[in-house]
Amino acid sequence: MKKKVNELTPEIYTGLKLKKPQVTAAGIPGVKASLQHILGEMRLSTGYKVLNKLNQFDGTDCPGCAWPDPDDHRSGLGEYCENGVKAIAEEATYKKVDPAFFAQYTVGELSEKSDFWLGKRGRISHPMILREGQEKYEEISWEGAFDFISQELKTCQDPNEAIFYTSGRTSNEAAFLYQLFVRMFGTNNLPDCSNMCHESSGVALSETLGIGKGSVKLEDFYQTDLILVIGQNPGTNHPRMLSALKKAKESGAKIISINPILETGLLNFKHPQSTKDILGKGTALSDLYLQVKINEDVALLKCIMLLMLGREDRKRGQIFDWDFIEKNSLGVEEFIEDLRQQDLAKLAKQSGVPFPQIEKAARMIMDSPKMICCWAMGLTQHENGVHNIQEVVNLLLLKGSIGKPGAGTCPVRGHSNVQGDRTMGIWEKPKAAFLDKLQEVFDFEPPRDIGFNTVEAIEVMHDFPGKVFFAMGGNFLSAAPDTKYTAKALQNCRLTVHVSTKLNRSHLVHGTNALILPCKGRTEIDEQASGKQFVSVENSMGVVHSSRGMIPPSSEHLLSEPDIIAKLAKASLGDSDKIKWLELVEDYDRIRDMIEAVIPGFEDYNKRVRQTGGFYLPNCARDGDFKTLTGKANFKVIPLPQHKLKQGEFLMMTIRSHDQFNTTIYGLDDRYRGIFNERRIVMMNKEDMVSAGLKSGDKVDLINQHDNVERIAPGFIVVPYDIPSQNVATYFPEANVLVPIKQIAKRSHTPASKSVKVIIQKQ
Ligand SMILES: Nc1nc2c(c(=O)[nH]1)N[C@H]1C(S)=C(S)[C@@H](COP(=O)(O)OP(=O)(O)OC[C@H]3O[C@@H](n4cnc5c(=O)[nH]c(N)nc54)[C@H](O)[C@@H]3O)O[C@H]1N2
Ligand SMILES: Nc1nc2c(c(=O)[nH]1)N[C@H]1C(S)=C(S)[C@@H](COP(=O)(O)OP(=O)(O)OC[C@H]3O[C@@H](n4cnc5c(=O)[nH]c(N)nc54)[C@H](O)[C@@H]3O)O[C@H]1N2
Ligand SMILES: [Mo]
């Protein structure tokens, strides 16, 4: 059946309400929103049980974001935030999607429901199969499911016909077993959500600083003079970061935010667990807010650095840290020479930020010996995503603000274990040393060819029918760019398999045969032959620690992710001398012993992961030892992006609302931005609306014409918003139909979902 565009994002209109954007994050409204979500999904006693142990030393790691937990003190009331509570309520819900549910609806009928509706049906309870030509999913035994998949894998003429995706919630133990199975099967086709997320950070930082991860620890926030938050909305996506920013301010730091829109969480914060905060005014966070135009951060940073160079020229050593630069870096001469060619006024104009504000930012940076730069998707999801981050690194290097306390890089990760999954080898481009080690320890010949990343995997499935697509978590269809194109890619597969907790659109846009394998979630007790197990995860700052489930699984038919992988591997490959798949899962310590044998930094893993708070992985950039190809930290000469917007064309960023976790829609409100009860909206500058003859509430079609293909997202409602001219914002995933598959970041291949060119047509 050919699907219409609408069926891929079929939100219904529910009655948009607009209010003024809020100026304070969290506080009582945050507490109220958390409670509503808990009460809607689970019994209060279950809610209490999970939340009480959330992010505690002996508890469950929040399945929400990857922000670290404090090393020392953890709040007795629980270390969590409003959006962590929503993540828990989604996972620990009492509602069930069982075989009776699937008997009620055809897949066609389900695909007409909104993502919000699908997600709210509850937890998937049984393994299900959609057989060729059938209209409904039906129950299948676990054994039957593993046999089915292994038969399909065995009929691959080349192991590279199969593609194994991973979303970042998967534990270290599951991720390690998964990549081992996939590589023993014979392919490096291990695309992951990171390809769509922080891949640009990984590429940029590896080249310049020698490690693809950030360099700071939480305590650096309390020792720094200045924090830059660029292209990130922590109030919604990393709310616990606001507590760290508050504490940093109390310790004397200043904060500059750089973002096209004024995000509430960066303005003011009332800690929901502090009576003083709740009753008082809260803490003002940003000392300076630069409303940069979308994807003009390079122009802004160059303008700031040119002002710094002006001062430095007057007296050498006044601004730049020459001791650091000469000892640790390469390329500063070329960098400064290029900077001198730039024109202050032109840069300022291109950035869209008033010049006096840029001067103020430059002064604050010049006055701060130690500084931290934080960023997220606002920098990575552009064609020049890698360059954006390398320009940030240039700034840090000029100041010598790396490899010392209170200073460094802080790419704030998304999924709660996305960083750990990469450390475990979920990567289409594994390093030779890693493969050598797998070969030595497990006695097999690992594949050496580079595998497909997410975008390449979509293109290959699109152009060459008959692939097998297996997803360890996630919602590939809705998370990926160019929804219609990705739909065809999945529909071309002979088999699509999803290990999932909740129903999502990727189960409904499927291959010739499709399977759903329901797994236990992070919050649930994982009992194996040797007793209750815990898993481990790595947070955004490289701390590896344990996470154990606290409540009984939502269905007796669920298996854990490691168990699913082991059983599939056993059915597909059988045991080898070195690996007895099922024995490994009896006691996860055995999997951790294997990880220790293969991956550096995991010495004494089983012992250290049991220490309170876990342990830090080695980080060369943190230690000031830059393991790049040149052996030094590298300055890079970064070109300015050129957006030649035609008359009537806009640059669109696709962002998250306050009520979603990626493609999981918790609710229809974006409370901080004052947008309620609706997701199919486009935020637009008021003057642009006048020029385009549009008014608030008008319905428009959004159109993208990249590569001579017309992509249409019909029926979006115009919302006037404080956003730079010629910039608009929509929500992910509703606007993903517009993100061109071929518009990707150079070298990291991350879809440019924050700089999509659109024209806007009134309906
Ligand atoms: N509650 C909740 N938590 C989450 C998630 C979630 O969906 N919900 N998702 C998780 C994941 S996987 C991730 S990766 C993170 C995402 O966390 P964020 O990166 O904070 O998420 P986005 O909503 O994509 O927001 C990007 C921010 O960048 C700004 N921006 C866009 N373009 C530009 C630009 O060109 N320049 C600058 N300076 N700013 C720009 C936007 O205005 C927005 O504030 O959050 C994680 N945590
Ligand atoms: N336009 C646009 N597109 C984007 C982005 C954007 O900003 N704009 N952001 C990108 C980013 S940063 C990311 S990270 C990707 C996210 O891409 P994904 O990680 O693929 O998507 P999610 O929505 O996080 O996946 C949600 C699904 O995961 C399953 N799930 C939840 N918990 C578990 C678990 O414990 N185990 C298993 N096996 N399954 C589980 C549930 O079934 C749920 O439906 O999307 C990307 N896409
Ligand atoms: Mo992400």
pLDDT > 60? residue 2: no
Phi-psi region of 694 (alpha: psi -120 to 50; beta: other; left: phi over 0): beta
Report pTM: 0.96
Report the C-alpha gap between 184 and 584 in whole angstroms: 16
Amino acid in position 383: E
**Residues within 6 Å of ligand 1 by CB:** 64-65, 83, 197, 230-233, 236-238, 258-261, 263, 292, 294-295, 297, 376-378, 414-415, 653, 655-656, 660-662, 754
| DSSP type of residue 499 | E
Report the C-alpha gap between 120 and 101 in whole angstroms: 13
Asked whether the bond before 518 is cis by omega within 30 degrees of 0, the reply is no
Closest approach atom of ligand 2 to CA 663: 23
Q: Which residues contact 742 (CB under 8 A, 6 or more apart)?
A: 706, 707
Q: Which two tokens stand for residue 593?
A: 């012993």
User: Which pLDDT band, with edges at 50, 70 and 90, does 50 fall under?
Assistant: confident
Q: Which two tokens stand for residue 473?
A: 């978590």
Out of 147-156, 278-287, 611-620, 671-680, which region has the weakest mean confidence (pLDDT)? 278-287
Report the C-alpha gap between 216 and 222 in whole angstroms: 11
In order of 260, 298, 305, 400, the CA distances from 301 in angstroms are 14, 5, 6, 16
Ligand 2 within 6 A of 562 CB? Answer: no
User: Which pLDDT band, with edges at 50, 70 and 90, does 217 fall under?
Assistant: very high
| Centroid of ligand 2 to alpha carbon of 662 (angstroms) | 5
How would DSSP label each residue in 45-56? HHHHHHHHHBTS
Question: Does domain 209-411 match CATH 1.10.3720.10?
Answer: no
Average pLDDT, the chain: 94
In order of 242, 301, 513, 517, the CA distances from 129 in angstroms are 44, 52, 7, 9
Ligand 2 within 6 A of 193 CB? Answer: yes
In CATH, the number for domain 649-762 is 2.40.40.20
Out of 23-37, 95-109, 600-614, 681-695, which region has the weakest mean confidence (pLDDT)? 23-37
pLDDT > 50? residue 315: yes
Torsion angles phi and psi, residue 753, rounded to 5: -80, 0
The closest ligand to the CA of 63 turns out to be 2
Mean pLDDT to the nearest integer, 66-80: 71
Q: Are 752 and 200 in contact (CB under 8 A)?
A: no
Report the C-alpha gap between 75 and 53 in whole angstroms: 11
Ligand 2 within 6 A of 553 CB? Answer: no
pLDDT > 80? residue 740: yes
Closest approach atom of ligand 2 to CA 476: 20
Q: Which residues contact 206 (CB under 8 A, 6 or more apart)?
A: 212, 628
Q: Which of 90, 293, 656, 657 to mutate to test the pocket of ligand 1 (most atoms within 8 A of CB)?
A: 656
The closest ligand to the CA of 238 turns out to be 1
* Most distant CA atoms of the chain, gap in Å: 77
pLDDT of residue 60: 86
| Residue range 679-709, pLDDT digits in tens | 999 999 999 999 999 999 999 999 999 999 9
SS3 69: coil
Q: Give nearest CA residue, ligand 1 atom 13.
A: 414
Closest of 405, 395, 373, 406 to residue 329, by C-alpha: 395
Q: Which of 96, 120, 167 to mutate to test the pocket of ligand 2 (most atoms within 8 A of CB)?
A: 167
Q: What is the 3-state secondary structure (H, E, C) of 382-441?
A: CCCHHHHHHHHHHHHHHCCCCCCCCCEEEECCCECCHHHHHHCCCCCCCCHHHHHHHHHH
User: Which pLDDT band, with edges at 50, 70 and 90, does 1 fall under?
Assistant: very low
Mean pLDDT to the nearest integer, 468-497: 98
Closest of 3, 2, 5 to residue 716, by C-alpha: 5
| Residue range 361-376, pLDDT digits in tens | 999 999 999 999 999 9
User: What residues are paired with 518 via a beta bridge?
Assistant: 500
pLDDT > 90? residue 762: yes
Q: Give nearest CA residue, ligand 1 atom 44.
A: 233
Mean pLDDT to the nearest integer, 277-284: 81
Report the C-alpha gap between 34 and 14 in whole angstroms: 22
| Centroid of ligand 1 to alpha carbon of 653 (angstroms) | 10
User: What residues are paired with 123 via a beta bridge?
Assistant: 96, 502
pLDDT > 60? residue 631: yes
pLDDT > 60? residue 77: no
SS3 233: coil
Q: Which of 232, 245, 421, 659 to mutate to test the pocket of ligand 1 (most atoms within 8 A of CB)?
A: 232
User: Which pLDDT band, with edges at 50, 70 and 90, does 10 fall under?
Assistant: confident
Q: Counting Cβ atoms within 10 Å, is residue 154 exposed (0-12), middle (13-18) or buried (19+)?
A: exposed
pLDDT of residue 29: 78
Amino acid in position 82: E
Amino acid in position 128: M
pLDDT of residue 57: 78
Q: Are 513 and 129 in contact (CB under 8 A)?
A: yes
Ordered alpha helix ranges (H), 74-191 = 82-91, 99-104, 107-111, 115-119, 142-154, 172-185
Torsion angles phi and psi, residue 232, rounded to 5: -145, 145
Ligand 2 within 6 A of 87 CB? Answer: no
User: What residues are paired with 283 via a beta bridge?
Assistant: 269
User: Which pLDDT band, with edges at 50, 70 and 90, does 279 fall under?
Assistant: confident
Torsion angles phi and psi, residue 522, rounded to 5: -55, -35
CA 319 vs. chain centroid, Å, equals 35
Report the C-alpha gap between 484 and 4 in whole angstroms: 8
pLDDT > 60? residue 4: no
DSSP count for the chain of H helices, then E strands: 30, 33
pLDDT of residue 37: 78
Report the C-alpha gap between 715 and 702 in whole angstroms: 8
Task: Quickly count: other Cβ atoms within 10 Å of residue 505's Cβ.
Answer: 27
| Centroid of ligand 1 to alpha carbon of 615 (angstroms) | 28
Q: Identify the residue with better confidence: 76 or 603.
A: 603
| Centroid of ligand 2 to alpha carbon of 750 (angstroms) | 15
Q: According to CATH, where is 3.40.50.740 located in the chain?
A: 96-196+429-610
| Residue range 509-551, pLDDT digits in tens | 999 999 999 999 999 999 999 999 999 999 999 999 999 999 9
Q: According to CATH, where is 3.40.228.10 located in the chain?
A: 209-411
pLDDT of residue 74: 64
Mean pLDDT to the nearest integer, 61-88: 78
User: Which pLDDT band, with edges at 50, 70 and 90, does 76 fall under?
Assistant: low
Nearby residues for ligand 3 (ion, Cβ within 5 Å): 197, 414
pLDDT > 70? residue 3: no
Q: Identify the residue with better confidence: 68 or 182.
A: 182
Closest approach atom of ligand 1 to CA 662: 7
Amino acid in position 463: D
pLDDT of residue 79: 65
pLDDT of residue 35: 77
| Centroid of ligand 1 to alpha carbon of 566 (angstroms) | 35
pLDDT of residue 5: 39
Closest approach atom of ligand 1 to CA 382: 35
| Centroid of ligand 2 to alpha carbon of 647 (angstroms) | 35
Question: Does domain 96-196+429-610 match CATH 3.40.50.620?
Answer: no
| Centroid of ligand 2 to alpha carbon of 285 (angstroms) | 29
| Centroid of ligand 1 to alpha carbon of 264 (angstroms) | 13
Q: Are 757 and 502 in contact (CB under 8 A)?
A: no
Q: Identify the residue with better confidence: 622 or 59.
A: 622
Mean pLDDT to the nearest integer, 565-569: 98
**Percent of the chain at pLDDT exceeding 70:** 98
| Residue range 710-720, pLDDT digits in tens | 999 999 999 99
What torsion, rounded to 10 degrees, do the Cα atoms 505, 508, 514, 519 define? 40
Ligand 2 within 6 A of 501 CB? Answer: yes
Place of tokens 């497990």: 442
Q: Are 685 and 727 in contact (CB under 8 A)?
A: yes
| Centroid of ligand 2 to alpha carbon of 90 (angstroms) | 14
Mean pLDDT to the nearest integer, 107-130: 95
User: Which pLDDT band, with edges at 50, 70 and 90, does 34 fall under?
Assistant: confident
Q: According to CATH, where is 2.40.40.20 located in the chain?
A: 649-762
Report the C-alpha gap between 736 and 743 in whole angstroms: 12
Closest of 484, 482, 203, 381 to residue 751, by C-alpha: 381
Amino acid in position 371: M
| Centroid of ligand 2 to alpha carbon of 701 (angstroms) | 26
SS3 677: coil
Report the C-alpha gap between 226 and 203 in whole angstroms: 25
| Centroid of ligand 1 to alpha carbon of 269 (angstroms) | 18
Cα torsion angle, 510, 120, 62, 67, sign: positive
| Centroid of ligand 3 to alpha carbon of 733 (angstroms) | 13
Ligand 2 within 6 A of 664 CB? Answer: yes
pLDDT of residue 223: 98
Report the C-alpha gap between 500 and 623 in whole angstroms: 39
pLDDT of residue 75: 63
Out of 116-130, 267-281, 570-584, 640-654, which region has the weakest mean confidence (pLDDT)? 267-281
Q: Which residues contact 539 (CB under 8 A, 6 or more apart)?
A: 61, 66, 67, 68, 69, 413, 416, 419, 545
Ligand 2 within 6 A of 473 CB? Answer: yes
CA 49 vs. chain centroid, Å, equals 27
